[in-house]
Amino acid sequence: MSSPTAFITGASSGIGRACAAKLAENRYQLVLLARREEKLAELAAELSKTPVHIIAQDINDRPALDSAIAALPAQFSNIDVLLNNAGLALGLEPADQTDWDDWQTMIETNCTSLAFLTRKLLPAMRARNSGHIINMGSTAGTYAYPGVNVYGASKAFVEHFSLALRSDLLGTNIHVCNLEPGLIAGTEFSNTRFHGDDEKAALVYQNCEPLLPEDIAEAVHWVVSQPARMNINRMEIMPVCQAPAGLAVHKA
Ligand code: 8X3
């Protein structure tokens, strides 16, 4: 039997990388997309037993992405699992003090490019009447906290897009899941959020035990391994050290 194919965005580090390793272990062949070619090549070398096709480019360069999809080698052209993992948070300032470019980058990456890639790969899934789309949401899409503004809103988009996709796909065997991790270490998330400030990023994970990318990779593998009759609409995962934020009341 031929290997199923998983297409993973943001594959060079963190959750994407861990998912690539987990799926490779479970006989998937991989299409890996990320900007950093050397990181992708390193990962492909590590997964030497797994056929890997690398797409080294910015996910927001949509014409290039379109061409890369059209140029997928025949062996990798039937995508069984699309893991829309690429995404980022930039800044944690109150809304009136944020950088407009940061907001635009988050909307572009977390919403527009995710929708674009899904739109591109969906017709082939529908034609084959099978497939899994796993979108990397976040607990921040459900629970607001100070400074989460556009990042949280972009993840709320991802959640609603996932649920809406399932509605459009009712009657097909295409599965859609919004996977919603909370606090997670071992990724570049906080470092990116704080624009490369390692000290600030380290403080986020101090004195607690956050999730790890491998935890999310387990969840991804579990989601795609369930009987075809099952669809996991949403999966929210927090570390035990985190809980949904309480409502805030400001008293003068
Ligand atoms: C990020 C989760 O807890 O850092 O997607 O807001 S959290």
Going from the Cα of 140 to the center of ligand 1, the distance in angstroms, rounded, reads 5
Task: Name the band, by pLDDT with cuts 50, 70 and 90, for residue 246.
Answer: confident
Mean pLDDT throughout 122-135?
98
pLDDT for the residue numbered 245: 77
Q: Of 164, 150, 158, nearest to 94 (Cα)?
A: 150
Lowest mean pLDDT among 130-139, 200-209, 242-251: 242-251
In short, whether 216's Cβ falls inside 6 Å of ligand 1 is no
Taking CA atoms only, the protein residue closest to ligand 1 atom 4 is 183
Q: Which residues contact 197 (CB under 8 A, 6 or more apart)?
A: 191
Q: Of 125, 99, 108, nearest to 59 (Cα)?
A: 108
Task: Name the band, by pLDDT with cuts 50, 70 and 90, for residue 89.
Answer: very high
What proportion of the chain, given as a percentage, has pLDDT over 90? 97
pLDDT for the residue numbered 213: 97
Q: Looking at the chain, how many residues does it have?
A: 252
In short, whether 138's Cβ falls inside 6 Å of ligand 1 is yes
Cα distance from N-terminal residue to C-terminal residue, the chain: 67
Give the global pTM. Answer: 0.97
For residue 86, is pLDDT > 80? yes
For residue 238, is pLDDT > 80? yes
Q: Of 117, 118, 92, 87, nearest to 105 (Cα)?
A: 87
Mean pLDDT throughout 160-174?
98
Domains annotated for the chain, with CATH where assigned, are 5-237 (3.40.50.720)
Task: Report the distance separating Cα 19 and Cα 112, nearest Å.
Answer: 22
Task: Report the distance separating Cα 162 and Cα 236, nearest Å.
Answer: 14
Contact yes or no for 57/68 (Cβ under 8 A)? yes
Q: Angle at the Cα of 194 (from 192 to 195), degrees rounded to 5?
A: 60
Taking CA atoms only, the protein residue closest to ligand 1 atom 5 is 138
Indicate the top mutation candidate among 189, 209, 235, 242 to test ligand 1's pocket, ranked by most ligand atoms within 8 A of CB.
Answer: 189
pLDDT for the residue numbered 65: 97
Taking CA atoms only, the protein residue closest to ligand 1 atom 2 is 182
